[in-house]
Amino acid sequence: MEFILVILSFYITIGNAIDFESHENWNLLSLDKCGQISTDRIIGGTEAPMNAYPWIARIGFKKLNESKIRYKCGGVVANSFTIISAAHCFINKPKYEKFVVIQLGEHDVRTNPDCRDDFCADPVVYVHPREIVIPINYMYYKYKHDIAIIRTEEKINFTGFVKPICFPNSEMAQRNLTGTTGEVAGWGVIDPDKLKLSPVLQMIRLPIVDILVCKKKLPFYLSIGKTQLCVGGIKGKDSCRGDSGGPLMTVDDSSGEPKYYLLGIVSFGINKCGKTATPAVYTKTSAYMNWLLDNLVENSDNTKVIRIKRVLD
């Protein structure tokens, strides 16, 4: 069985010429269902409440001749056939390891279904990748244009435990995010010294700081710029290995109802994440909205297609 890795021509719109709502694919973003907040949601610690982020996905890989699936990245549901993640999760990977599955509706990986007190969530949902779309000028060694669209084989059915996240509209894209706070969630490494992934979905609130801070703190990545966000810089609080591709989110009520919006995608940081007051770099969602909208349904005319085998389930 196969799926296709599609690498597309890249273009980007930044600045005043932003009008996402007029794009013919804008309404494909499940606007009526996206970003809905659970009424019983409580934020207080590092462990996220069950069903706090029903759009979050786990990206699973399998080694040849092994049955075990290893979940190494995160992502978010955009619509019924689309997951958004980071390009580096899929590019320049060993040939013996293949991307095979996406898990939705998860909270505690040790139990299925997840239960709290007398309440149980639905069983987790599995969908499979059909295609991956990334910018053709994605730079692996610089993490530049680190964004990916995953098109799924099966339709993603929305429930109380699986929902899409909202995406920035034109007005939100014009905002200066420096000085604001976002939420990050994932099953990434808790202790970088032990490299053990968290079994329970974790969340953290982190400040968005000036991009110049990341340029100074991460001087080897000279291409850090306006298509990225600089996030964190608080010792002991950071996204880490295993969180890549996961969401940086914010709640916004400018449309009337408070909803979660995708501000960024976890891209890269230092190996000893959280050990020092060094921020991490995230892909800025609003910088790629036209590209995302262009590729929600069909490929652009200028494509490079690479076929790669998927390990059979």
Catalytic residue numbers read: 88, 146, 244
Looking at the DSSP bridge assignments, the partners of residue 309 are 2
Catalogue the E-assigned strands of 121-254: 125-127, 129-135, 148-152, 181-186, 189-191, 196-197, 202-209, 228-232, 247-252
Catalogue the E-assigned strands of the chain: 2-8, 56-63, 69-79, 82-85, 97-104, 115-116, 119-120, 125-127, 129-135, 148-152, 181-186, 189-191, 196-197, 202-209, 228-232, 247-252, 259-268, 279-284, 303-309
Q: How far is CA 157 from CA 125, 136, 170, 297, in A?
A: 9, 30, 28, 17
Q: Are strands 228-232 and 247-252 parallel, antiparallel or unpaired?
A: unpaired
Check: CB of residue 293 under 8 Å from CB of residue 12.
no
> Amino acid letter at 112?
N
Instruction: State the Cα–Cα distance between residues 102 and 111, nearest whole angstrom.
Output: 17
Q: How many CB atoms lie within 10 A of CB 124?
A: 18
Count Cβ atoms within 10 A of the Cβ of residue 292 and give its class: 0-12 exposed, 13-18 middle, 19 or more buried. buried
